[in-house]
Structure 1
């Protein structure tokens, strides 16, 4: 039996098993603490009855730091194709290897999507390595599609797929596109 709850600072001492996968992006303590300080309601863990952390999600809500053109933002008139309106972003989602295939990723992602709906976000997005086929397939099953390919996004020069799932505010599905795998951008275009 497992429960989902907000992540606490003390959980950072218990997430090592979740970070063992080489495809999982890990961060320094300060990075995790910034998320726990700024977006505590969006950082969740799945804990079993023995107190082990089986998985976690770090997430945030954000928009591009510069104003849209024209302002206020309207997806039909915004002239900047790289402007990001108010949205949720999955920074890290991981489940310890021995606890995979139990629906933990879906549970954590669904909780984030509900929180983003409450905040009136347009969509939820995430970045995933193009060679992480297992994660890409999982996200597709959850309703995410590839919006664009970011060339050389990771430190080792691997490309990333920017995957998105529209939320109810995006009634016309204007923040997703078909054939996003073929739409290439540079990392500088992402923000």
Structure 2
């Protein structure tokens, strides 16, 4: 049986099986700690129960933050990482973690949820589309090693789609757009303070 619980700092010792996914970005301890201290309600894990409580398994986790300004129509929740242990995939855990984040974000009165997904990650993109996300823009060179200078130099291997789902506070749907895959931006053009 799956349950969702707050992430704890000591959980970092138990997430290696989750982080082994090649599409999951791994961070240093201070990065995880910052999220735990600043946005504790947006950092949680899914747990699989076993016969013995000490043998519970972390099957996945969600790490998100709130950023932007309501005044500028940019107040949103950003998914930094959502990942599932490969032994627990295809049972809707990622959807469950995303839907939990949506509930929290609605209570916190953010306008939308966004995330970056690699252009080549078709499974991820389809999952988010199924949950109601759409492509807002293509970020050229987002996953590259150097800052790109030409927004028209597309490369599926290092580009990302910025995907969004508007929330009830955005009644007029100002935070989403149609055909966002045709809007190209550079990483340094994405600023939320």
TM-score norm. by structure 1 comes to 0.88
What's 1:53 paired with?
58
- Structure 1 unaligned segments of length 5 or more: list them: 76-84
Match 2:122 to one of 121, 133, 136: 133
The structural deviation recorded for 1:155 is: 3.3
Whole-Å Cα distance in 2 between the matches of residues 20 and 145 of structure 1?
A: 27
Give deviations 1:60-79, integer Å, cap 9, x for gaps: 11116xxx9xxx43x5xxxx
What's 1:81 paired with?
none
TM-score norm. by structure 2 comes to 0.87
Q: Does 1:117 align with 2:122?
A: no
Give deviations 1:86-134, integer Å, cap 9, x for gaps: 1101000000111001111111111111111111100000001000111
Alignment of 1:1-191 (within 5 A): 1-49=1-49, 50-63=55-68, 72-73=71-72, 75=73, 85-156=74-145, 158-191=158-191
Whole-Å Cα distance in 1 between the matches of residues 38 and 169 of structure 2?
A: 24
The structural deviation recorded for 1:163 is: 0.2
Whole-Å Cα distance in 2 between the matches of residues 173 and 33 of structure 1?
A: 34
- Structure 2 unaligned segments of length 5 or more: list them: 50-54, 147-157
The structural deviation recorded for 1:172 is: 1.2
Dislocated runs of 4+, deviation >6 Å: none
The structural deviation recorded for 1:51 is: 1.2
For the residue of structure 1 that corresponds to 2:66, the secondary structure is strand
**Which deviates the most, 150-159 or 168-177?**
150-159
Whole-Å Cα distance in 1 between the matches of residues 97 and 145 of structure 2?
A: 28
Whole-Å Cα distance in 1 between the matches of residues 121 and 94 of structure 2?
A: 15
**What RMSD over aligned residues (CA atoms) do the two structures have, in Å?**
1.3
Whole-Å Cα distance in 2 between the matches of residues 54 and 106 of structure 1?
A: 13
